[in-house]
Structure 1
Amino acid sequence: MELNGIKPAAGAKHAKRRVGRGIGSGLGKTAGRGHKGQKSRAGGFHKVGFEGGQMPLQRRLPKRGFKSQSLKFNAEVTLAALDKLGLGEVDVLALKQAGLVGQLAKVVKVVKSGELTRAVKLTGVGATAGAKAAIEAAGGSVA
């Protein structure tokens, strides 16, 4: 290889489009802009979404819904899942290791769904009123 033989990769370089340079170039006269209208003029532009004064689509449609960004840090665990887990003491870390809640979860709450047959002690985990009653009835506690 010699310095005078170095070339860019095939297709890496291409000629800039020279508009308005005569009929033979294929881009003479109107220079690829077509005839008349706002887009043919120098400085002729409009905002994205502008529909010529007609009410734009994003304003014609109704506003709807909201998704809280804090939802990804909250998680729920059922009584049935706690029963299947089979641990005496349950905290957020144990639930994450068992795969019952996501790794991002910070606030975990036990909901009353299913049955609990064993005594479970909750630490750092919340519970709904019904779930708390069911845990205490099974001999467990909520801290």
Structure 2
Amino acid sequence: MSLIMSIMLFFSNMKPAEALPSLIQKGKASFYSKKFNGRKTFYGERVSSEALAGAHRHLPLNTLVEVTNLDNQRSVIVRINDRGPFAKGRVIDLTHAAAHALGMVSKGIANVSLRVVGKGRPVTLTPSAFDNPIAFQPMLEPVF
């Protein structure tokens, strides 16, 4: 019984995994098909083929990752904004712009290395009433 309690206490104190700076992973990269443009990601953002973004299975949202094409040594920094890829043997899915920057569009798949370089800025997913003061105006009441 005490062993079970010890294990429960140990795991209850653990914090969610954070991306370790300079973590390196190697594998195959692919990129989103154009049919995904405009669809929502796992986190609710819209996929944009012009954005430098990508999907990774485990890295936290807004992690900045330097992706290097090992065939031509071209690199690009992308922001993780989706979960995936779900194809066997792939480590990252990229947007079309990121794939173009790496020179992998014609092949479709490339051998890459990933290096975590930092944490990006959070993105607001839903518009707020405070973003548009005119829309917020009817809710204001005069203070006397």
- Normalised-by-shorter TM-score class: under 0.3
Quick one: higher RCO (CA 8 Å, sep 6+), 1 or 2? 2
Larger radius of gyration: 1
Specify which structure has the higher proportion of helix. 1
- Superposition TM-score, scaled by structure 2 size: 0.23
Specify which structure has the higher proportion of strand. 2
